[in-house]
Amino acid sequence: MSSIRVTVWNEFRHEKIDEKVRAVYPDGIHTAIASFLKGNFDVKTATLDEPEHGLTDEVLANTDVLIWWGHMAHGDVKDEIVDRVYARVMEGMGLIVLHSAHFSKIFRKLMGSTCNLKWREIGEKERIYVIEPGHPIAKGLPEYFEVPHAEMYGERFDIPAPDTQVFLSWFQGGELFRSGCCYHRGAGKVFYFRPGHETYKVFYQKEIQTVITNAVRWAAPVAGPTVTFGHRPEPIEDVTPYEDKSA
Ligand code: ZN
C-alpha cells in the first residue's frame, strides 16, 4: 500500500435528507469514495458538520491529498477553513475537486473565476474522451468511456485555461464540457473531475474509480525544494553594483 494519506471530504447533507440519494449512497458519498481508495492509500474521511468541518490543522497537516465533494451547502463552509485548505495547497497538498464542487469556495478561490456552467438533469449519457493519453491520470483507461446516466454540465465552464486538460465530455443532448482539468497552484496540484452527481451510481463505476485513484497519485506532494520569496541583497554570483558616473 502507498503511504499517500488521503482525506475524503463530503458535505454529507443530501444523503441525510433525500431518500433518493440515500438509496444510492447509504453511508454517504465520502464512504463510497473511501471504500475504493482504501486498498491503495491511507484513507480517512471528514464531513461538514464535524467540528471545524473535520479539517483541523492537525488533519490537514497529515493529509497529502484532499478530495472535495459539495453541492447544497457551499455557503456553510467557513471562510477560515477555506483559507486553511488554501494555505495547505500552496504548501503542496493535492486537491481533487469533484462534480458540483466546481462552485465550492475553495475551488473558486483557487481559480479566481466564477466557475459557472450550464446544467441539465435528465439522466442522459455522458461520453468521456481521454484527450491527453500520456498523462498519469489517464493510466489504464480506454480512448473513451461512458457514464450511462449523468447530469449534464455544458460549456462555457468559466475557469482559467487548465495547465493540462485530460478529459473532454460529450453529452447525449449535444453539449461539451472540459471534464478533467489539472492546475498547479503554489507547490500544490489541483484536479477538477466532472462526474459525480449524487443520485447516480457514478462512484461505483470502475473507470471513475480508476481516474480518482490515478488523480490521487498525480496530486500527491513531491519532495521538491522549499521556495522562499523576498528581497535578495546578496547576489548568487559576484556582481559589481552599477553606479552611474556620468552625472
Ligand atoms: Zn449534480
Whether residue 200 lies inside any domain: the answer is: yes
Q: Is the pLDDT of residue 220 over 90?
A: yes
32-57, pLDDT tens digit by residue? Answer: 999 999 999 999 999 999 999 999 99
What secondary structure letter does DSSP report for 62?
T
| Average pLDDT, integer, range 67-74 | 98
Grouping H, G, I as helix, E, B as strand and the rest as coil, residue 149 is strand
Whether residue 83 lies inside any domain: the answer is: yes
- Burial group, residue 242, by CB count within 10 angstroms (0-12, 13-18, 19+): exposed
Report the pLDDT value the prediction gives residue 60, as an integer from 0 to 100.
98
What secondary structure letter does DSSP report for 122?
E
* 96 alpha carbon – ligand 1 mean position (Å): 16
Whether residue 69 lies inside any domain: the answer is: yes
Report the pLDDT value the prediction gives residue 125, as an integer from 0 to 100.
98
| Average pLDDT, integer, range 132-145 | 98
* 29 alpha carbon – ligand 1 mean position (Å): 12
* 153 alpha carbon – ligand 1 mean position (Å): 9
Report the pLDDT value the prediction gives residue 247, as an integer from 0 to 100.
74
CATH of the domain at 19: 3.40.50.880
The count of structural domains within the chain is 1
Q: Give bridge partners of residue 118 from the DSSP assignment.
A: 154
Q: Which of 92, 118, 95 is nearest to 216 (CA)?
A: 95
Instruction: Grade residue 1 by pLDDT with cuts at 50, 70 and 90.
Output: low
* 150 alpha carbon – ligand 1 mean position (Å): 8
* 151 alpha carbon – ligand 1 mean position (Å): 6
* 69 alpha carbon – ligand 1 mean position (Å): 10
Whether residue 31 lies inside any domain: the answer is: yes
Task: For residue 214, give its domain range.
Answer: 5-112+180-219
Q: Is the pLDDT of residue 25 over 80?
A: yes
Phi, psi (deg, nearest 5) at residue 59: -60, -45
Cell of 193: 473531475
Whether residue 138 lies inside any domain: the answer is: no
* 179 alpha carbon – ligand 1 mean position (Å): 13
* 60 alpha carbon – ligand 1 mean position (Å): 26
Whether residue 168 lies inside any domain: the answer is: no
* 232 alpha carbon – ligand 1 mean position (Å): 49
Q: Is the pLDDT of residue 174 over 80?
A: yes
Q: Is the pLDDT of residue 227 over 90?
A: no
* 99 alpha carbon – ligand 1 mean position (Å): 6
Whether residue 37 lies inside any domain: the answer is: yes
Whether residue 96 lies inside any domain: the answer is: yes
| Average pLDDT, integer, range 218-226 | 94
* 102 alpha carbon – ligand 1 mean position (Å): 10
Grouping H, G, I as helix, E, B as strand and the rest as coil, residue 22 is helix
